[in-house]
Structure formats: C-alpha cells, structure tokens
Amino acid sequence: MRLDARVEVRVVAAGAEGSPARDVALIRLGGAPEIGPPGWAALRDLPEGAAAGHEANCRCCAGRSGLADMMMQLFAERAKDQIGFFRAVFVSVPSSLVCETVTILAHDPVIAGRYRVDR
C-alpha cells in the first residue's frame, strides 16, 4: 500500500463541520467575517461566489477559483509555520454546492498535488 501524504480535504454542507480540531483548517464559503469557534488550526472565510469557477483550465479563469487560491495560501502559511499545523481542511459550503465544489477541487492539478479531495 502506498502512503498518500497529501492533506485531506472534506467538502461539507454548512453546519456539518463538526467540532473544532487543532489539526484541521476550516474554510467557510460566505461565512461571517467574525473569528468563529476557537480550536481550528486555521479559520478562513471566503466571500459567496468566490469558490465557484469553471472547468479546470478554462480560458477565462485558467481553472483557478478563489477557493483554490485560498487553499494554496493556507498551505504556504502552514509551511512557514504562520498558522497551526493541519492534517485536514474542511470546506463548508451550502449543501447545494457540495458536489460542484468537490468537482472543481478534484480537477485542479495544483490542488491535487497538495491535497487529497475526499469524494
């Protein structure tokens, strides 16, 4: 069996994030800009609509969504020890966007190199 050292990503419906964990970063789509519950390795809020993108490598946006950019920034901050070390990222989105968000992330080659998107 091959070891997969990429960071786990779970896309969950808003409100289903579970309890905070010190080894999990949380990204909330359309989340309130307040700090939120303590205990996450990192907490980021992404404005509504910023997570959406088009097919990976489309001509208008080169496949990079605001969510993918934020995830790469989180990875860089983790590497520089600027935030808590996390083993997983939970992405909280409205339930109607769960499948679309998983597809966007799973088809982004840069995200796939650093993160393992659970389907």
- Tell me: the pLDDT tens digits for 5-43? 899 999 998 888 888 899 999 999 876 555 556 789 998
CA dihedral for 23, 27, 28, 33, sign (positive or negative):
positive
Distance CA 91, CA 27 (A): 5
Please report which residue ranges of 9-82 form alpha helices under DSSP H: 66-79
Residue located via tokens 């989105």: 93
Q: Tens digit of pLDDT for each residue in 32-72?
A: 555 556 789 998 888 766 555 444 444 444 556 789 899 99
pLDDT at 78: 93
H helix and E strand count, the chain:
3, 5
> How is the chain split into domains, by residue range?
7-117
